[in-house]
Amino acid sequence: MIPVTLPFLPPKEDYDILLHGIWKRQWLTNMGPLASELEMSLKEYLNVNHILFVTNGTIALQMAIKALDLKGEIITTPFTYVATTSSIVWENCRPVFVDIDQKSLNIDPEKIEAAITAKTSAILATHVYGNPCDVKAIEKIATKHKLKVIYDAAHAFGVQVNGTSIFNFGDISTCSLHATKLFHSGEGGLVITKDSKLLKEMAHIRNFGHDGPEKFYNLGINGKNSEFHAAMGLANFNFIQAIHDKRKLLTDRYDEKLRNFKAIKPLWHKDSKPNYAYYPIVFENEELLLKCIDFLKANEIFGRRYFYPSLPSSLPYIETKPLKWANDISKRVFCLPLYFNLTVEEVDLICRLLLRVQNN
């Protein structure tokens, strides 16, 4: 069987060494030495001002909304994972969807201004599949209308725009370190900001709002992560480049073998390079997509319709709002298997099967 993804696991002995230290110290959570070390290592590697290691990417989004004290409406994308939208609703704000750009699959900046009202407090955009949004256009709109900007960069670990980390754009960026991500800590997330005041807000939020054992600074939650998850992150840290290189190799192979296939890849940001987090293709039509899915499944190969269906048409707790490109693309997009242990031979097999369906 070939799944859509498998988590990278470091050599077990690397993880065992870190576990031995945890057993010796008996410090399991509450920002122990490994969690602190992971934060510092990632801050240096990513070249960002301030970073916090938190429970997961969803908690990261909720912390960002809370730290910015957002109210009312938040403009966002309909083409993303549900956590982007559910975090807005969970924090008692209203998601306002605007359509995506049909080429990049990111939120279309040209449609944002028309959705701004007196109740709008922020823009929450997703770098879909790690592909950077038009951050300059969004910043210009946000500045003009005095809006805050959060980027859901769950897929965008290691991505840069003009040599600057994608995490440095907006008021706050968030990232997921879930097991399926190209760099992971089993479960985990990050919040990143340039603003030291926002860092202070979120650092307190992460720990129930505590400001010492008997004093509280603000309203908080338990957003901390454990030493066991930090250990996985640290064990994986030394393999970031190897993971990137293998995924690039497999991506290039897909590109070569599928050059005559009736599907296109999303258009990547012109001032950025891919991080190879996913291999999405947009089929010429849904009929061909469904035939390919069935044939791949018959051969025990499983991709994913990521993201399908479009959120405004599938969530019971928000109002339905059909959006042309989000609805259309969600029916035709498909992510092919991509992970470290996937072989070139398996990629070749997947491509042969896809081409066989197309040519029959």
- 341 and 195 both lie in a single domain: no
Residue 274 belongs to domain spanning: 240-359
Asked if residue 6 is part of any domain, the answer here is no
Query: In this structure, is residue 1 part of a structural domain?
Result: no
Q: Decide if 75 is inside a domain.
A: yes
The Cα 202–Cα 125 span in angstroms is: 20
| Whole-number pLDDT of residue 314 | 87
Q: Are residues 291 and 226 in the same domain?
A: no
* More confident of the two residues 354 and 318: 354
Residue 5 lies in a domain: no
- C-alpha span between 277 and 183 (Å, rounded): 9
Rounded CA separation 157/177 (Å): 9
- Of 206, 237, 268, the one marking the end of a domain is 237
Domain boundary among 219, 237, 255: 237
Asked if residue 335 and residue 324 are part of one domain, the reply reads: yes
Residues 66 and 212 in one domain: yes
Q: Let me know whether 36 and 59 are in one domain.
A: yes
Residue 36, in any domain of the structure: yes
Peptide bond into 309 cis (omega under 30): yes
Token representation of residue 268: 């990547």
Among 222, 237, 252, where does a domain finish?
Answer: 237
Give yes or no: residues 311 and 269 share one domain.
yes
Q: Is residue 111 part of a domain?
A: yes
82-128, pLDDT tens digit by residue? 999 999 999 999 999 999 999 999 999 999 999 999 999 999 999 99
Helix (H) or strand (E) holding 37: helix 33-46
Structure-block tokens of residue 336: 């092919």
Give me the residues paired with residue 336 across strands: 279
Residue 231 shares a structural domain with residue 250:
no
Instruction: Check whether residue 162 and residue 280 sit in a common domain.
Output: no
- Pairwise CA distance, residues 19 & 34, whole Å: 10
Q: Looking at residue 347, which CATH number applies to its domain?
A: 3.90.1150.10
Strand 120-126 to 148-152 pairing: parallel
User: 162 and 201 in one domain?
Assistant: yes
Claim to verify: residue 222 and residue 251 sit in the same structural domain: no
DSSP letter assigned to residue 221: -
CATH classification at residue 219: 3.40.640.10
The reported pLDDT for the residue numbered 239 is: 98
CB 275 within 8 A of CB 158: yes
Q: Collect contacts of 9-13 with beta carbons under 8 A, ≥24 apart.
A: 10/232, 10/235, 10/236, 10/238, 10/239, 11/235
DSSP notation for 112-180 = TGGG--TTEEEEEEE-GGGPPP-HHHHHHHHHHHT-EEEEE-TT-TT-EETTEEGGGSSSEEEEE--TT
Tens of pLDDT along 215-258?
999 999 999 999 999 999 999 999 999 999 999 999 999 999 99
Q: Are 130 and 277 in contact (CB under 8 A)?
A: yes
Residue 4 lies in a domain: no
Question: pTM value?
Answer: 0.97
| Of residues 190, 214, 171, the one with CA closest to residue 69 | 171
Whether residue 323 lies inside any domain: the answer is yes
Say if residues 10 and 231 touch (Cβ distance below 8 Å). Answer: no
Model pLDDT for residues 157-180, shown as the tens digit of each residue: 999 999 999 999 999 999 999 999
Give the pLDDT score at 164.
97
The confidence score (pLDDT) of residue 337 equals 98
Strands (E), 218-267: 263-264
Do 141 and 247 lie in a common domain? no
Same domain, 118 and 176: yes
- Angle subtended at Cα 188 by Cα 191 and Cα 170, rounded to the nearest 5 degrees: 20
The residue among 206, 205, 204, 248 whose CA lies nearest residue 338 is 248
As for how many domains the chain has, the answer is 2
